[in-house]
A = this chain, B = another copy of it.
Amino acid sequence: MATHESYSIRPIGWVRSPLTDRKGAPRQPNEGAPAATLEISEEFVDALDGLTPGQEIIVLTWLHQAVRDVLIVRPRGDLRNPLTGVFATRSPDRPNPVGLHQVQLVSITNRRFLQIAALEAIDGTPIVDLKAVL
Protein backbone atom coordinates (compact mmCIF):
# COMPACT_ATOMS: atom_id res chain seq x y z
CA MET A 1 0.00 0.00 0.00
CA ALA A 2 1.30 3.43 -0.92
CA THR A 3 0.95 5.29 2.34
CA HIS A 4 2.98 8.36 1.46
CA GLU A 5 1.22 9.33 -1.73
CA SER A 6 -0.28 12.79 -1.98
CA TYR A 7 -2.23 14.74 -4.56
CA SER A 8 -2.07 18.38 -5.51
CA ILE A 9 -5.13 20.60 -5.68
CA ARG A 10 -4.89 23.77 -7.68
CA PRO A 11 -7.68 26.29 -7.08
CA ILE A 12 -10.06 26.90 -9.98
CA GLY A 13 -11.06 30.23 -8.43
CA TRP A 14 -11.73 32.08 -5.19
CA VAL A 15 -14.68 33.10 -3.04
CA ARG A 16 -15.43 36.82 -2.87
CA SER A 17 -17.50 37.56 0.22
CA PRO A 18 -18.12 40.26 2.83
CA LEU A 19 -17.18 37.59 5.41
CA THR A 20 -13.53 38.10 6.27
CA ASP A 21 -13.09 36.35 9.58
CA ARG A 22 -13.63 32.66 10.24
CA LYS A 23 -14.74 33.43 13.78
CA GLY A 24 -17.64 35.55 12.63
CA ALA A 25 -18.72 33.26 9.80
CA PRO A 26 -21.96 31.28 9.95
CA ARG A 27 -21.57 27.52 10.16
CA GLN A 28 -24.05 26.78 7.36
CA PRO A 29 -25.62 28.75 4.47
CA ASN A 30 -29.04 28.84 6.17
CA GLU A 31 -27.61 30.48 9.28
CA GLY A 32 -27.48 34.00 7.95
CA ALA A 33 -24.73 33.56 5.38
CA PRO A 34 -24.44 36.48 2.94
CA ALA A 35 -24.50 36.45 -0.84
CA ALA A 36 -21.11 35.75 -2.36
CA THR A 37 -19.34 35.62 -5.70
CA LEU A 38 -17.33 32.73 -7.06
CA GLU A 39 -14.58 34.19 -9.21
CA ILE A 40 -13.49 31.43 -11.58
CA SER A 41 -10.09 31.70 -13.24
CA GLU A 42 -10.13 32.61 -16.92
CA GLU A 43 -8.52 29.32 -17.94
CA PHE A 44 -11.50 27.34 -16.63
CA VAL A 45 -14.30 29.36 -18.25
CA ASP A 46 -15.10 26.61 -20.76
CA ALA A 47 -15.85 24.23 -17.89
CA LEU A 48 -18.74 26.49 -16.79
CA ASP A 49 -20.69 25.90 -19.99
CA GLY A 50 -24.13 24.55 -19.16
CA LEU A 51 -24.51 26.12 -15.72
CA THR A 52 -27.89 27.86 -15.57
CA PRO A 53 -28.96 30.73 -13.30
CA GLY A 54 -31.47 29.54 -10.74
CA GLN A 55 -30.05 26.05 -10.39
CA GLU A 56 -28.52 24.53 -7.28
CA ILE A 57 -24.88 23.56 -7.55
CA ILE A 58 -22.35 21.89 -5.30
CA VAL A 59 -19.24 23.89 -4.48
CA LEU A 60 -16.13 22.28 -3.03
CA THR A 61 -13.70 24.65 -1.35
CA TRP A 62 -10.33 24.39 0.37
CA LEU A 63 -10.83 25.69 3.91
CA HIS A 64 -7.43 27.31 3.96
CA GLN A 65 -7.64 28.48 7.58
CA ALA A 66 -8.47 25.02 8.91
CA VAL A 67 -6.25 23.17 11.37
CA ARG A 68 -5.32 19.87 9.74
CA ASP A 69 -4.04 17.87 12.70
CA VAL A 70 -7.31 17.96 14.63
CA LEU A 71 -9.03 14.55 14.88
CA ILE A 72 -11.69 15.20 17.54
CA VAL A 73 -13.79 18.29 18.18
CA ARG A 74 -16.77 19.50 20.12
CA PRO A 75 -19.29 20.00 17.27
CA ARG A 76 -19.97 23.64 16.42
CA GLY A 77 -17.30 24.60 18.93
CA ASP A 78 -19.92 24.26 21.68
CA LEU A 79 -18.37 23.03 24.93
CA ARG A 80 -21.67 21.37 25.85
CA ASN A 81 -21.27 18.99 22.91
CA PRO A 82 -19.33 15.73 23.47
CA LEU A 83 -15.94 15.16 21.87
CA THR A 84 -16.59 13.66 18.44
CA GLY A 85 -14.36 12.43 15.63
CA VAL A 86 -14.12 15.03 12.88
CA PHE A 87 -15.27 12.48 10.27
CA ALA A 88 -18.63 12.29 12.10
CA THR A 89 -19.03 16.09 11.95
CA ARG A 90 -18.90 19.00 9.52
CA SER A 91 -16.05 20.71 11.37
CA PRO A 92 -13.79 22.72 9.05
CA ASP A 93 -10.81 21.40 11.03
CA ARG A 94 -9.91 17.97 9.59
CA PRO A 95 -6.97 16.28 7.82
CA ASN A 96 -8.02 17.36 4.32
CA PRO A 97 -10.17 20.45 4.85
CA VAL A 98 -12.41 20.31 1.79
CA GLY A 99 -15.60 22.31 2.32
CA LEU A 100 -18.86 21.06 0.81
CA HIS A 101 -21.56 23.61 0.04
CA GLN A 102 -24.83 23.20 -1.83
CA VAL A 103 -25.81 26.66 -3.02
CA GLN A 104 -28.11 28.50 -5.40
CA LEU A 105 -26.55 30.02 -8.52
CA VAL A 106 -28.29 33.37 -8.99
CA SER A 107 -26.51 34.67 -12.09
CA ILE A 108 -23.29 34.60 -14.05
CA THR A 109 -21.66 37.93 -14.90
CA ASN A 110 -18.72 38.59 -17.22
CA ARG A 111 -18.60 34.87 -18.08
CA ARG A 112 -16.74 33.79 -14.96
CA PHE A 113 -18.27 35.48 -11.90
CA LEU A 114 -20.93 33.26 -10.31
CA GLN A 115 -23.31 35.08 -8.01
CA ILE A 116 -24.40 32.82 -5.14
CA ALA A 117 -27.45 33.45 -2.97
CA ALA A 118 -25.82 32.48 0.36
CA LEU A 119 -22.43 31.03 1.23
CA GLU A 120 -20.72 30.62 4.61
CA ALA A 121 -17.13 30.53 3.27
CA ILE A 122 -14.92 33.54 3.94
CA ASP A 123 -13.40 35.91 1.40
CA GLY A 124 -10.39 34.43 -0.36
CA THR A 125 -11.35 30.80 0.18
CA PRO A 126 -9.95 28.75 -2.73
CA ILE A 127 -12.51 26.92 -4.86
CA VAL A 128 -11.66 23.29 -5.64
CA ASP A 129 -14.55 22.16 -7.82
CA LEU A 130 -18.14 22.76 -8.95
CA LYS A 131 -20.58 19.91 -9.56
CA ALA A 132 -24.15 19.41 -10.69
CA VAL A 133 -26.64 18.37 -8.02
CA LEU A 134 -28.02 14.94 -8.93
Contact = CB atoms under 8 A, between A and B. Distances in A.
Interface of A: 1, 3, 5-12, 14, 28, 41, 44, 46-52, 57-58, 60, 62, 64, 71-72, 83-90, 94-96, 98, 100, 126, 128-132, 134
Nearest to A27: B134
A51 B58 CA distance: 24
A8 B11 CA distance: 11
Nearest to A127: B96
A94 B129 contact: yes
Interface of A is mostly: mixed
Contacts of A128: 96, 98
21 contacts: A5-B11, A6-B9, A7-B62, A7-B64, A9-B9, A9-B98, A10-B96, A12-B87, A47-B85, A47-B94, A48-B85, A49-B85, A50-B88, A50-B89, A51-B88, A57-B87, A87-B129, A87-B131, A90-B131, A90-B134, A96-B128
Contacts of A5: 10-11, 126
A46 B85 contact: yes
Given A47-B94, A47-B95, A95-B47, A87 B130 contact: yes
A44 B8 contact: no
